[in-house]
């Protein structure tokens, strides 16, 4: 086993670009069981990077798993409880890193008093989120560059005791 540690936000521009590489790799190499080559290429036609990628991530909390100082996975959470990105590099998948990242996401949701998390998950993401107690609301067909992809609108209602610290007079 190796040491994995978590970092939340405070990422340098070069590190933001590394997250784009992780996403590209996870889709292109890690999603082969569920999506054709054409679908994976339509999903992520190129490695996300630069100002547009940084802007897309700017309004989200980013939880990054690192091994030996190098990002190997990340998950994001916006102020409304939406998880837009949840990716682990293909060579590190199925090793518990996604669960580790998700534990931190739920902790951030609790700290932010969010009652619900939601996402649009891939087939692989669906399996992962269901293992974390999520429910599928519906399957969706989306089109990217003329190619149809299936994803799943999912949610989890959080059962934090938000009144635990309230005054019970």
Local confidence band at 14 (pLDDT 50, 70, 90 cut-offs) = confident
What pLDDT is attached to residue 168?
42
Q: Is the pLDDT of residue 76 over 90?
A: yes
Cα four-point dihedral sign 127, 129, 131, 136: negative
What pLDDT is attached to residue 98?
94
What pLDDT is attached to residue 9?
66
Stretch 84-108: mean pLDDT: 93
At 81, list the tokens.
Answer: 């409880």
- Report pLDDT digits (tens) over 107-148: 999 999 999 999 999 999 999 999 999 999 999 999 998 999
What pLDDT is attached to residue 69?
82
Stretch 60-83: mean pLDDT: 93
As a whole number of angstroms, the distance between CA 155 and CA 135 comes to 6
Stretch 135-163: mean pLDDT: 90
Stretch 34-56: mean pLDDT: 95
Q: From its phi and psi, is residue 93 left (phi > 0), alpha (psi between -120 and 50) or beta?
A: beta
Fold of the domain spanning 4-115: Aminopeptidase (3.40.630)
Residue found under tokens 């102020």: 79
Tell me the pTM: 0.88
At 165, list the tokens.
Answer: 């610290």
Domain ranges of the chain: 4-115
Q: What share of the chain is helix, strand, coil (3-state, %, to 5)?
A: 35, 30, 35
Q: Is the pLDDT of residue 159 over 70?
A: yes
As a whole number of angstroms, the distance between CA 68 and CA 20 comes to 19
As a whole number of angstroms, the distance between CA 70 and CA 67 comes to 5
Average pLDDT of the chain is 90
Stretch 50-67: mean pLDDT: 93
Local confidence band at 28 (pLDDT 50, 70, 90 cut-offs) = very high
Q: Taking a C-beta distance cutoff of 8 angstroms, is the pair 150, 138 a contact?
A: no
């Amino acid at each position: 086993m190796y040491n994995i540690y978590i970092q939340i936000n405070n990422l340098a521009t070069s590190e933001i670009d590394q997250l784009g590489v992780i996403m590209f790799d996870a889709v292109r190499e890690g999603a082969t069981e569920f999506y054709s080559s054409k679908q994976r290429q339509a999903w992520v036609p190129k490695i996300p990077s630069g100002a547009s990628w940084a802007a897309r991530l700017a309004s989200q909390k980013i939880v990054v798993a690192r091994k030996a100082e190098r990002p190997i996975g990340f998950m994001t959470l916006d102020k409304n409880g939406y998880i837009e990105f949840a990716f682990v590099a293909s060579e590190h998948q199925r090793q518990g890193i996604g669960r580790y990242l998700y534990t931190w996401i739920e902790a951030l949701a609790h700290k932010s008093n969010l009652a619900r998390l939601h996402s649009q998950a891939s087939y692989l993401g669906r399996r992962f989120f269901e293992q974390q107690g999520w429910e599928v609301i519906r399957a969706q067909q989306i089109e990217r560059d003329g190619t149809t992809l299936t994803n799943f609108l999912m949610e989890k209602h959080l059962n934090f005791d938000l009144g635990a610290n309230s005054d019970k007079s």
